[in-house]
Amino acid sequence: MSLETDPAALALRAARPTTLCVIGAGYVGLTAAVCLAQLGHRVGCVETDPGRLRAIRAGHVPIEEPGVAELLAAHLASGRLRVTDDVAEGVADASVAMLCVGTPPTARGDPDLRQIAHAARAAARAATDHLVLVVKSTVPPGSCEALELLVAPERGDVRVTVASNPEFLREGRAVFDFFHPDRVVVGVDPPGSAELVVSLYPAAWPRVVCDRRSAELVKYAANTFLAVKISFANEVAGLCEALGADADQVLHGVGLDARIGAAFLGPGPGFGGSCLPKDVSGFVAVAEAVQHPARMARAAEAVNEDAIVGLVAKIESAVGPLRGVRVGLLGLAFKAGTDDVRHSPGLGLATALAAAGARITAHDPLAVVPQMPGLQFDDPYEAARGAEAVVVTTAWPAYRELDLRRLRREMAGSVVVDAVGVLDGAALSAAGLEWYGVGRGRPLGFHPVVTGPLEWALEGEPASGPAISGGPAGG
């Protein structure tokens, strides 16, 4: 459902209209700013990137996010939204400053908190009355407490407190997600002081009010669990390839179990984007800091690294040594519906293939990668021209409509690796293409006879094992 067709969401109002400031106008901040204005708040949005600021002031949205442009235009016009590069102007009269700046990973994998420290200090310096800094950015547990100490020297006699209110939106659906949250998590110490932050949102929205460390950990744990699900699906897909089973059917059957659910349970090129890889490595870094092993998170990371390695190996076994081989990549955005290429599997694969000596060409309907000058084409068939292999790495709906016979004519070879499962296997074969996938398509390393589980039957007697009595929740 698009926002425009959802008048119920648009008619929602905050429990208590407030003057607030949003610092950082990226995917999270700009979406929050326009949606908070829609809820009835007066919002000062602060952005320091001159290009982004200019665009937003002119009513242009510098990110690909459906619904943001309409709300931006509406609230620049209504006067409920102001955009500035001056924190003092943004914070003036505000009782809340939402920190929505980036927390990118360092080379070690832990999050770089310099943007948030800088923004918090600037907001505290500009505060004229009690200000609550609400941390929407994803930060490790303990960060809100550390920020409160950090800003203490800046705030003079003015009271500045820090609350956690992590953001769960998905890129490409950010406005929809803002108005239809599964939950609003608010972390405050002491928990009784949550009222101001809670009242920023409509009273009917589900909420979790807890202490700050717990709120910060909800976000890390949720994203780590999603990553674990994706990696588990890829582990099953690898097993499907070895057994000759079909990962789509297997995971569909698994996901229909209401205790498990189908979301994030598809085989593919692994998880990417600006959040999951960073938040899983952040989870691991936090765990390391307190000598906790974080075995599941580490396993999810290891399986994810293997996803790209596995695709390279698959392409190589299909076309032979990669040096000098042309490979056309379809999809550079980390997922369909966004122009974001941060940690995208497509880009990761391009880098790995180039390192192996392959020559890469690519297409994406939205994403532009400055590091690939001259190698990116506006048309998927041009990207495929002269390629020995084509690899589909983002599940753009347009790729489902590809004319496969034309694709075959453009290519020099016939190998298609559909890493995201958007193409029809039978149609690929009918077009004269060799179809490989993740857990589907032509099996590589398939074991025709699986003897292990059958050994007892072949030998006549079942092996005796310990008696198993009913476990707690198994099925």
Ligand X SMILES: NC(=O)c1ccc[n+]([C@@H]2O[C@H](COP(=O)([O-])OP(=O)(O)OC[C@H]3O[C@@H](n4cnc5c(N)ncnc54)[C@H](O)[C@@H]3O)[C@@H](O)[C@H]2O)c1
Site residues (vs ligand X, CB under 6 A): 23-29, 46-49, 52, 100-103, 115, 118-119, 122, 137-138, 167, 169, 171, 274-275
Could you give the C-alpha distances from 308 to 36, 222, 393, 434, in angstroms and in order? 39, 24, 10, 20
Closest CB 266 distance from ligand X, rounded Å:
19
Nearer to ligand X, 167 or 418 (CB): 167
Q: Where are the beta strands (DSSP E) in 261-407?
A: 326-330, 359-363, 376-377, 389-392
CB-based contact 363:330 (threshold 8 Å): yes
CB-based contact 46:59 (threshold 8 Å): no
Q: What angle do CA 270, 275, 279 make, to 5 degrees?
A: 95
Nearer to ligand X, 218 or 417 (CB): 218
Closest CB 136 distance from ligand X, rounded Å:
6
Nearer to ligand X, 223 or 376 (CB): 223
Counting Cβ atoms within 10 Å, is residue 311 exposed (0-12), middle (13-18) or buried (19+)? Answer: buried
For residue 250, count other CB atoms closer than 10 A to its CB. Answer: 19
Give DSSP secondary structure letters for 105-139.
Answer: B-TTSSB--HHHHHHHHHHHHH-SS-EEEEE-S--
Q: Amino acid identity of 449?
A: V
Start-end of H helices in 189-292: 195-198, 212-243, 247-255, 276-289
For residue 285, count other CB atoms closer than 10 A to its CB. Answer: 19
Q: Round to whole Å and give the CA distance between 171 and 263.
A: 16
| Structure-block tokens of residue 283 | 């989870």
CB-based contact 377:316 (threshold 8 Å): no
| Region label for 256, one of left (φ > 0), alpha (ψ between -120 and 50) or beta (otherwise) | alpha
Q: Round to whole Å and give the CA distance between 305 and 363.
A: 23
Nearer to ligand X, 47 or 110 (CB): 47
Nearer to ligand X, 136 or 326 (CB): 136
Closest CB 331 distance from ligand X, rounded Å:
18
Minimal CB distance residue for ligand X: 26
Catalytic residue among 35, 45, 144, 275: 275
Q: Round to whole Å and give the CA distance between 13 and 200.
A: 9
Closest CB 276 distance from ligand X, rounded Å:
10
Nearer to ligand X, 125 or 359 (CB): 125
Nearer to ligand X, 49 or 382 (CB): 49
Closest CB 29 distance from ligand X, rounded Å:
6
Nearer to ligand X, 274 or 361 (CB): 274
Closest CB 199 distance from ligand X, rounded Å:
22
Nearer to ligand X, 32 or 387 (CB): 32
Is 275 tagged catalytic?
A: yes
Length of the chain, in residues: 475
Closest CB 115 distance from ligand X, rounded Å:
4
Q: Round to whole Å and give the CA distance between 96 and 23.
A: 11
CB-based contact 69:2 (threshold 8 Å): no
CB-based contact 339:64 (threshold 8 Å): yes
Closest CB 26 distance from ligand X, rounded Å:
2
Query: H-helix or E-strand containing 208?
Result: strand 207-210
| Residue with tokens 């990137």, as numbered in its chain | 49
For residue 222, count other CB atoms closer than 10 A to its CB. Answer: 16
CB-based contact 169:62 (threshold 8 Å): no
Closest CB 88 distance from ligand X, rounded Å:
12
**Active site positions, annotated:** 275
